[in-house]
Amino acid sequence: ALIDRGVAAALAKHDVDKSRNGNKSNDSGKVGRRKMTTPRECSYTNFLKCQPMSFQGTEGVGSALTWLNSHMRVVGQDVAYAMPWVALKRMITDRMFPEESAKVERYIGGLPDMIHGSVKASNPQSMQKAIEFATEMMDNKMLTHAEHQAEHKR
């Protein structure tokens, strides 16, 4: 009985709140209706004042379109148009979203020479493992370097 009364009271309170917002004013009912700001006109010069990032067209859609155009030149327009959508989609996906192993190889290739060989030899299977191992190697190198510096100061 006590639970039923609590549920009934909560439902009644919910109905009161719901009817209070029935006018779609989005206010809590305790304060007056909030003021809506009118949107400002945005001209091209105002847009440029916000210093938007420039787009070079060499990544994302631009890169995909460049690849598609070169593919059409290589295989010919008739062959490219005859290709099933699923096959084309798979080719674009392979090109634009490489497997994790390719990402790991690219990451390892950009590491400093002093840890590159060690990280490559560990053969990490995921990007997370490669990053963790590289970070550990860099920490060890920095610690060793600091210890050598301390020894030379004595």
User: Distance (Å, rounded) from C-alpha 123 to C-alpha 30?
Assistant: 63
Place of tokens 């609590």: 6
Structure confidence at residue 74 as a pLDDT band (50, 70, 90)? very high
Structure confidence at residue 152 as a pLDDT band (50, 70, 90)? confident
Query: Domain check: are 119 and 86 in the same one?
Result: no
Token digits for 144?
């060793």
Query: Domain check: are 109 and 154 in the same one?
Result: yes
> What is the average per-residue pLDDT within 50-55?
71
DSSP category for residue 35: P
Query: Domain check: are 93 and 104 in the same one?
Result: no
Tell me how far apart the terminal alpha carbons of the chain are, to the nearest angstrom.
81
Query: Domain check: are 126 and 153 in the same one?
Result: yes
What long-range pairs does 107-111 form, CB within 8 A, spacing at least 24? 107/131, 107/134, 108/134
Query: Domain check: are 66 and 88 in the same one?
Result: yes
Structure confidence at residue 55 as a pLDDT band (50, 70, 90)? low
Query: Domain check: are 103 and 148 in the same one?
Result: yes
Token digits for 134?
């590289």
User: Distance (Å, rounded) from C-alpha 137 to C-alpha 130?
Assistant: 10
CA-nearest of 141, 139, 100, 134 to 117 is 134
| pTM for this entry | 0.37
Residue 119 covered by a domain: yes
Residue 79 covered by a domain: yes
Residue 131 covered by a domain: yes
Number of domains in the chain: 2
Query: Domain check: are 87 and 103 in the same one?
Result: no
Query: Domain check: are 78 and 124 in the same one?
Result: no
Residue 21 covered by a domain: no
Query: Domain check: are 85 and 106 in the same one?
Result: no
Q: Is 154 helix (H, G, I), strand (E, B) or coil?
A: coil
Average pLDDT value for the chain: 80
Query: Domain check: are 108 and 62 in the same one?
Result: no
Token digits for 8?
């009934």
Residue 134 covered by a domain: yes
Query: Domain check: are 79 and 92 in the same one?
Result: yes
pLDDT digits (tens, 9 = 90+) for 99-116: 788 888 888 888 888 888
Residue 82 covered by a domain: yes
Q: Which domain holds residue 115?
A: 99-154
